[in-house]
Structure 1
Amino acid sequence: MTGVKDAPKMVSLFSGCGGLDMGFKTAGYEIIWANDFDRDAQAVYRMNLGEIDGRDIMTVEENEIPDCDILTAGFPCQPFSNAGSRKGVHDSRGMLYKECLRIIAKKKPKVIVFENVKGLLSTKYIDGRNLVDVIIEDLADMEDIGYNVVHELINASDYGVPQNRQRVLFVGIRKDLNKEFIFPEKQDKSRLALGNILDIPADVPNQVDWPLSPQAMEMINYIPEGGSWKDVPYEHLAPRFRKIRDNMKKYHSPNFYRRFSRSEICGTMTASAQPENCGIIHPTENRRFTIREVARIQTFPDEFVFIDDNIKNITAMYKVIGNAVPVKMANVIAQAIMRQAFEGEQKQ
């Protein structure tokens, strides 16, 4: 591995609380500049990784960002969705993709990494083209430089994460380097079941949970380990769930209130931390996963802290963890990029 002084220099856009950055840092990269607009994410980032620029990226000039070897970004994709108004780049959040291009064109990093949700694969750009094709073309045809870009839909559980979390990753290597990234081989999943990660020593911080509503508590009393809301007797369902149960075909047979068992790999942790949206219910105890348990599912190390005296809002911690890139997934990708794009170029 390269020494710190010779480590590839990394600029991180839309850094969140630092999941991706932590993965890259532990793989030997030096994070020289990071940015995120979310105050809760900034607070966590500063406690664990150091300074982060909290300005709106649209207000940051290119010359304020240092030159770098690699640039990473997880720009919002909601404005490109088929749902909603479909304003595309005319939406202020949609413009954030263009901000990535603006900075890349000026900094000309050797490698770029974009991370986004699975839905990006089926979304359209403002002119009707597939957004995936737009991203690849924009990077390949960039003036004076260009990138050989590959993308893949990956499951975080293929890279050491105890969570079935699908994400799209783009990795581009500058064309003058004459390389194309190859995604690493999938890893063994035999130790990723929840039972392997929920035994947490008492002295590990942030073992607090967000209490469920009385309605949710009433329902989960009837949900066995490995079950879901479908196990709840009809008379104990909340009215809105009875409506769905009465017409499962209309509602596409949703699997709310999933209680993953200790022998299963967990489902995707979401920013909302709601039982309707993710498997946030503990396998054997009638409660949400704690902050630390969710952090472990996202593969943050136990020394990575989320709450201190300055952070009182526990729901904000579920949000920033759910929005994060799993650390181990980021680390595996970072190591592969190090081998393929940087080894041999840095002094040992």
Structure 2
Amino acid sequence: MTSEGSKKLKVVSMFSGCGGMDLGFKQAGYDIVWANDLDEDACETYSHNIGKIIPGDVTKLEIPNVKNLDVLVAGFPCQPFSNAGSRKGTNDPRGVLYQQTFKFIENLDPKVVVFENVRGLLSTKTQNGKLIDEIVDTLTNKYGYHVAYRLLNFSHFGVPQNRIRLIIIAVKNKNYIDHIFPEVTEDKDLSIQATLKGVSKKMLNQNELMRLNPQAIYYGSMIPEGGSWKDLEYDVLPDRWKKIRDNMAKYHYPNFFRRYARSEIQGTITAAFKPENAGVWHPTEDRIYSVREIARFQTFPDQFEFLGRSIKSKYQQIGNAVPPHMAKQIAEQLKHYLFKTQISTLTRRKVESTELNVNQPIHKQKIFI
């Protein structure tokens, strides 16, 4: 039995982005021995804050020679599976990049595999059925893992944002599979007001805001705190919005120009970060959030500086990232398995329902969020 602290656990990171997942594992004491991403701006941010990263197309890179690998993490591109994206699934070239993770797994044989993606992956279909079933079947029957996956609302784990994501974890020892996810966090103020407390103009990236067109500024300035476009008078709406307002059911009741109140928890920070479709307006000022402010919602530390060729790129890097605070909790929980330590049987707070059971058909599974 290996005791915690006697060795540094090794991580190989695929589709690393600007490093949200990797930073969380690093904060938990892991050693990131190899990382890669295609986006040059994300790689610049990563190398500036975390360490070495190999830029380029992962399908064209040589698989690293890492012995006794502890964890492989991968946040393969989510856009093909996202409701906010094209939903082309595996018909999108990015939608088959998950297969590259299998090549790494076959060569490196990690003790743990961690995948993060959007909830849309659960309903994505392939030629052979559902993508989630294919992933689980490959990990189980080809590589000998025991797999658990859950939809998690990260706000239940201390992230100040209602961000629901799919986490898939695979381990070799089935005795740990029921205790492989972190516990729910209690009693923390996750409001926007608490999250943005202490932000000042002197902070890194605080003075960086995306430029908005005059129409966006015009409508955004009229939205009250806690409101949306639904609070606007019909006569001031552009013709396109009037058409939608006339038949809200047909357009699935959109909630344009959402401005959250200071007492609320922020909605999902997205890579697109469009003022019309995302709740990115500052609660009390006539502007959208700054780069630093959305980094706060994603739990990046204030000393983490975002680099890149444009402000838009920095928003995208943050929106695509895994919140480090969530990644750290996953990393800490995995230590029980990697160090073979005792797992406490704490009673989990069930929020709406229970965990996903991979042995049931998807439509019968319950979600732990």
Superposition TM-score, scaled by structure 1 size: 0.90
For 2:189 and 2:340, how far apart are their aligned partners in 1? Answer: 30
Match of 2:320 among 323, 326, 340: 323
Change in Cα spacing, 1:342 to 1:125, as seen in structure 2 (3 Å) is: farther
Residue 49 of structure 1 aligns to which amino acid in structure 2?
I
1:235 aligns with: 235
Residue 192 of structure 1 aligns to which amino acid in structure 2?
L
- What's the CA shift string for 1:49-85, capped at 9, x where partnerless? 11111121111233x3423210000112454689969
Alignment of 1:12-91 (within 5 A): 12-62=13-63, 64-67=64-67, 68-79=69-80, 88=90, 91=92
Residue 102 of structure 2 aligns to which amino acid in structure 1?
L
Does the 8 Å contact 1:215/1:238 carry over to 2? no
For 1:38 and 1:167, how far apart are their aligned partners in 2? Answer: 22
Residue 92 of structure 1 aligns to which amino acid in structure 2?
P
Change in Cα spacing, 1:260 to 1:336, as seen in structure 2 (3 Å) is: same
Residue ranges of structure 2 left out of the alignment (5+ in a row): 343-369
For 2:246 and 2:7, how far apart are their aligned partners in 1? Answer: 63
2:150 aligns with: 152
Alignment of 1:197-216 (within 5 A): 197-199=195-197, 200-207=199-206, 208-216=208-216
Does the 8 Å contact 2:41/2:309 carry over to 1? no
Alignment of 1:166-205 (within 5 A): 166-175=164-173, 178-182=175-179, 183-188=181-186, 190-199=188-197, 200-205=199-204
Does the 8 Å contact 1:81/1:123 carry over to 2? no
For 2:193 and 2:145, how far apart are their aligned partners in 1? Answer: 42
Residue 338 of structure 2 aligns to which amino acid in structure 1?
A
Does the 8 Å contact 1:222/1:233 carry over to 2? no
Does the 8 Å contact 2:89/2:124 carry over to 1? no
Residue 134 of structure 1 aligns to which amino acid in structure 2?
E
For 1:253 and 1:204, how far apart are their aligned partners in 2? Answer: 38
Change in Cα spacing, 1:46 to 1:84, as seen in structure 2 (3 Å) is: closer
Superposition deviation, residue 48 in structure 1: 0.4
For 1:262 and 1:85, how far apart are their aligned partners in 2? Answer: 33
* Identity across the alignment (%): 47
Residue ranges of structure 1 left out of the alignment (5+ in a row): none
| SS of residue paired to 1:227 | coil
1:297 aligns with: 297
Superposition deviation, residue 2 in structure 1: 4.5
For 1:114 and 1:94, how far apart are their aligned partners in 2? Answer: 14
Superposition deviation, residue 100 in structure 1: 0.3
Change in Cα spacing, 1:297 to 1:104, as seen in structure 2 (3 Å) is: same
Superposition deviation, residue 184 in structure 1: 2.1
For 1:85 and 1:257, how far apart are their aligned partners in 2? Answer: 23
Does the 8 Å contact 1:181/1:337 carry over to 2? no
Superposition TM-score, scaled by structure 2 size: 0.85
1:314 aligns with: 311
Change in Cα spacing, 1:306 to 1:70, as seen in structure 2 (3 Å) is: same
